[in-house]
Amino acid sequence: MNKSKIITIAIISLIVLFAVLILFNIFGPEEDESSRPQQMRSGPATTVRVTPVTTGIIEKSVILNGEILARNQVTILPAMAGRLVDMRFSVGDRVTSGSIVAMVDPSRPGEVFSRSPVVSTVTGTVLNAPFSIGDSVTPQSGIYIVGDLSALLVETFVPERFATSVTQGMRASLWFEAIPGETFNAEVFEINPVLDPVSRTLRIRLRFLNTDPRIRAGMFATLSLITNRKADVPVIQRTSVINTYGSWIVFVVDEENIARRRVVTLGLDSEDQLEILSGVSLGERVVSAGQNFLSDGDPVRIAE
């Protein structure tokens, strides 16, 4: 073989070897990112805050407005129609059962009749007196509204979508603009059997569990009614979850401080927490802040 052929074969061999190396680099097996040591991973570690998965109590509630009423509130009616000639009590006065609270003159022109007394059927405090002396009244006219202020209740109306969740004994927290910074507890004791056909709401009444002399009938209250409650269930912070294409995901930090992406199934939710049905286990460290910039396998630095 002459010298020129040897040189040609050598050049072709080098070209083929170089081409094989290029193809291997392009199409060769990729190294698993998760199998590489943390110090060999590209990019700096992301600073995150983590919260362990723990068991707890989670409550779902609805915010409603309510009115404070006297628990035993009765309208005092006259026995006869006529002209109101005497009113013996004013709003705020206390009356006793069987006492005469007003007088009605049933006389008509040309006729004189004895005055008819209006008798209170309950003991309590006068809450309203809508009529004045000289007014004409009928047996359907409520001359006084008398209530027992020693036992107050809260009346509120629950929207139809929450109506089936309301049960006897359900708890609620209340607060008042007139008593800032304080919360009071109540429980449901009366549920109307039917919904209002106009407003599509369910009327319920609650009794106070902790009374306070500052609470008065006629006050306006805001209440948080607990419609569902679970105890000893796995919970995480609401800020931990991300919605991605219809799925809820979280990032869990392993022993090597590597973020692992997990798809989770959520249960009951409250203002701050979420119940976890699947996807993470008790004790695992879930990223609760800083997860929006993470990808699966990223190194992280945990903020204390």
Q: Which two tokens stand for residue 291?
A: 């997860």
Q: Strand pairing partners for 233?
A: 56
Residue-level pLDDT, tens digit, the chain, 304 residues: 566 666 677 677 767 666 666 666 665 555 454 444 444 455 688 888 888 998 988 888 889 999 998 878 899 999 999 999 999 999 989 999 999 999 999 998 888 889 999 999 999 899 899 999 999 999 999 999 998 887 889 999 999 988 888 999 998 999 999 899 899 999 999 999 999 999 999 999 999 998 788 898 889 999 999 888 888 899 988 888 888 888 899 999 998 889 999 999 998 887 788 989 999 889 899 998 888 888 888 898 888 7
Cα dihedral 96, 97, 103, 106, rounded to 10, equals 170
CA distances to 35, 230, 240, 283 from 55, rounded to whole Å, are: 32, 10, 16, 9
Q: Is the pTM of this model over 0.75?
A: no
Q: For residues 227 and 165, is the Cβ–Cβ distance under 8 A?
A: yes
Burial class of residue 223, CB neighbours in 10 A (0-12, 13-18, 19+):
buried
Q: For residues 204 and 223, is the Cβ–Cβ distance under 8 A?
A: no
Strand 54-70, strand 152-159: pairing: antiparallel
3-class SS at 19? helix
Residues near 288 by Cβ (< 8 Å), separated by ≥ 6? 49, 50, 51, 236, 237, 239, 240
Q: For residues 116 and 82, is the Cβ–Cβ distance under 8 A?
A: yes
Measured between alpha carbons, how far apart are the two ends of the chain, in Å?
A: 76
3-class SS at 220? strand
Q: Which two tokens stand for residue 241?
A: 């979850």
Q: For residues 85 and 114, is the Cβ–Cβ distance under 8 A?
A: no
